[in-house]
Amino acid sequence: MAEPERWCVVTGGRGFAARHLVEMLIRYEIFSVRIADLPPSIKLEPDEENGMLGEALKSGRAQYVSFDLRDKAQVVKAIEGCEVVFHMAAPDSSINNHQLHYSVNVVGTKNVIDACVELKVKRLIHTSSPSVVFDGVNSIFNGDESLPYPPKHNDSYSATKAEGEALVLKANKSNGLLTCCIRPSSIFGPRDRLLVPSLVTAAREGKSKFIIGDGNNLYDFTYVENVAHAHVCAERALASAADVAETASGQAYFITNMEPIKFWEFVSLILEGLGYERPRIKIPAAVIMPIAHLVELAYKFLGPYGMKVPQLTPSRVRLLSCSRTFNCSKAKERLGYTPLVSVKEGLEKTIASYSHLRAIQKVKRDGPSKASIMLGGGKVADTLLWKNKKRTLMALFILIALYHNLIAPGYTIITTASKVLLVGSIFLLIHGCLPERILGYQIEKIQESHFHFSENMSRRIAVSVVSSWKCAVSCLKSLSRGNDWNLFFKVRLKEYLTDMARKKTSLKENMLKEKKHKTMEPEPTRPNKTGISSDVRMA
């Protein structure tokens, strides 16, 4: 005689982690799987149609049921005939809508519990969240299940998740029902619709270059397949012998990859793997928080009119700047849980699954650019082409200072030289009066040897001046004898251009003087209707 078919139900079965659990349950062939979710029908992706899920739906080992958690009658109908319930349904955590979260996480969870008790379901595994013990202010380092619920949660999602979890744990042993709660930390992996897509969107909009906080906050991430594995481990522990089930039931368990990593390093690995730049500019959380409050306020008013759910919210800023690591010893001891996939392997699989979101790489030509070659490819080229940003900024600063202090005032060459010498002498005087140390910093004094000219150096300078003078005299002699026509035409052209510029300047000055003279001339008096000039009337 064939054994009766055993069924389990996965609420929210088309969600991110739930899909992986459904496939794992089908692969293990312990239960036939009932997928319960809100859409009226199931829509399979191409890889699912040709995979295990598609085959299971065709063979009857899996079936889809449309239901609304908030309607108890529909919940009872979806769970009827099942031995185990994996309650994974939850709304999008990024939407801070208390009414929505309460109706699903609290009312919906209570409907699931009541249906399980009424239908004498044997085991209920509820998917909770580590956020139920996070207050949004204090970081958590290696936190265990002894952490209490905080007086105030970070957001509505966390607060309602805590209420739902408390209801599930309280319902343990009600009419033979054994319950436990799984708290997976920061799930990532293929088919994720929140983390990776939001990172890519931010990168394409140029927002991924920023780090909120100091960038050293640690996080525990969990690969999605490990989350599914933890649910199976919990179900097997509750189905074990009485003493094991007694120990495992009525408890909450943190689930992680057991490999804490800096949050922003994890984000950087994903972005770099998809061809985007890693974040590098640090912004204190206190600076970005007021902006996040304004964005959230704007969404409250404009959300009903089509405004998209903002990524920058106060609760998310707190999550991105705090540390959250958890201890999985309890899950390891009582459920037999150990991660199947490491963080490194999980990242590789995740990045490979999002090939369609990769950055479009521009082909870079090897070797220097044409502009660099034309400029000589040396220090001048590096400065003009911003290859050495420090040197370029220094050059710009010097040029601006010279312009505003020497050129803009209209100084002559002699005045400019005297100004430079004056500034230099003042600087040397102040520098010479400074002590050797100021506030712990060593002041390097200019040695007297820097101002000493040796006999050889003096001779070279004198020879250089004499040589320049002789060269100038030689050029003048050559011009006077008519030996170098090229030089003559160059000099004559330069004189002509200088003369034209002088005449143009003189003409502009004369026009300005005439215009100013006209504006100063008094206007002739005009008789008004009374026949008396305005000057006489004023008198």
- Supply the residues annotated as catalytic: 161
Closest CA to 92 of 74, 106, 110, 104: 104
Residue 114 CA to residue 120 CA, distance in Å, equals 10
Closest CA to 357 of 191, 221, 187, 186: 191
Tokens of 191: 């088919």
Q: How far are the Cα atoms of 44, 124, 339, 344, 396 from residue 108, in angstroms, in the given order?
A: 25, 14, 30, 36, 65
Residue 302 CA to residue 183 CA, distance in Å, equals 33
SS (H, E, C) 346-385: HHHHHHHHCHHHCCCCCCCCCCCCHHHHHCCCCHHHHHHC
CB 317 within 8 A of CB 286: no
Residues 6 or more apart whose Cβ sits within 8 Å of residue 453: 461
End-to-end CA distance of the chain: 128
Closest CA to 26 of 54, 3, 67: 54
Closest CA to 33 of 85, 110, 91, 71: 85
